[in-house]
Amino acid sequence: MPYVNIRVTKEGVSAAQKQQLIEGATDLLQRVLNKDPATTFVIIDEVETDNWGVNRENVTTRRQREGVSTRSQRGGTAK
């Protein structure tokens, strides 16, 4: 009985996108490992960006920093 855990940042992943992830993971395990979809479990965990870190900073801070950097490169002003 396969168990797949998918973790994404909590930023508006739609119900339709989640359904596609569930179907895709289930189909992959059936195709590659010949696993029965009826016994394949797919769990999607949504993690707040404050709780997801990359390169010593959380994603919330990283996105804010990159947003300011991107605006200034286009000639905009940082807030």
pLDDT tens for each residue of 53-63:
999 999 999 98
Overall domain count for the chain = 1
| pLDDT (0 to 100) of residue 70 | 38
Among residues of the chain, what percentage have pLDDT more than 90? 77
> Which residues are part of the catalytic machinery?
2
- Asked if the structure places residue 51 within a domain, the reply is yes
pTM for the full model? 0.74
CATH number for the domain spanning 65: value is 3.30.429.10
Of 12, 50, 43, 51, the C-alpha closest to 26 is 43
The parent domain of residue 37 ranges over: 3-73
Contacts of 28 (CB under 8 A, 6+ apart): none
d(CA 9, CA 50): 9
**8-39: pLDDT as tens digits:** 999 889 999 999 999 999 999 999 999 999 99
